[in-house]
Amino acid sequence: MDVKKYVRDVKDFPKEGIIFKDITPVLSNPEVFKFVIDGMIEDIKDWNFDTIIGPEARGFIFAAPLAYKMGKKFVPVRKPGKLPYKKISASYDLEYGSATLEMHIDAIEKGERVIIVDDVLATGGTTAAIVELVKKAGGIVEGVYNFAELSFLNPREKLNDIKVGSLIEY
């Protein structure tokens, strides 16, 4: 299946000069969404991890079904002020601005192996910030896996020697 047919380019959103990859046509077609989730699982089935971290908001859409189907623990990383308990935080730049992400202080145990799952890997800023959070908590990043990767923005440069995979690449 040509999954890219279901990703819509929206010019100048949310800022002039950005071509936004709109995933809603993937989500509105149950057959395509199933193909995508199953394909993502197939790609990472041999990775060695206990836990999937998903960043708010679009990361949740892919990370949670993967955690459910693979029988793994799910950890949400959220925008500031959303998590109720004690938190650790990291700030970062992304394609269209800068932001802070938070994770519960007890979300990950020392030595726990985690992967980070998101919809789009663009500059890599979001993922690099989550790697920092996992390291602060004493966890080990097994790898990073995305629905779509914007390789023309060179996100892997920010992620050094971390294993990176993506279902589709631009």
Ligand X SMILES: O=P(O)(O)OC[C@H]1O[C@H](OP(=O)(O)OP(=O)(O)O)[C@H](O)[C@@H]1O
Ligand Y SMILES: Nc1ncnc2[nH]cnc12
77 near ligand X, rule: CB under 6 A: no
Going residue by residue from 18 to 37, which x/- string records binding to ligand Y, judged by CB under 6 A?
A: xxxx----------------
149 near ligand X, rule: CB under 6 A: no
Confirm if 131 and 141 have CB atoms less than 8 A apart. yes
Residues 6+ apart with CB under 8 A from 32: 1, 3, 6, 25, 26
Which of ligand Y, ligand X, none sits in contact with 18, Cβ below 5 to 8 A by type? ligand Y
The burial class, CB within 10 Å (0-12 / 13-18 / 19+), for 166 is buried
Q: Of 44, 68, 76, 73, give the one whose Cα is nearest residue 146.
A: 44
Of positions 88, 94, 99, 140, contacts ligand Y by CB under 6 A: 94
Residue whose tokens read 């004493």: 138
Point out the catalytic residue in the list 8, 56, 95, 156: 95
Of positions 54, 65, 76, 124, contacts ligand X by CB under 6 A: 124
Q: Interface with ligand X by CB under 6 A: which range of 25-33, 35-43, 116-124, 132-140?
A: 116-124
Task: List, by residue number, the catalytic residues.
Answer: 58, 95
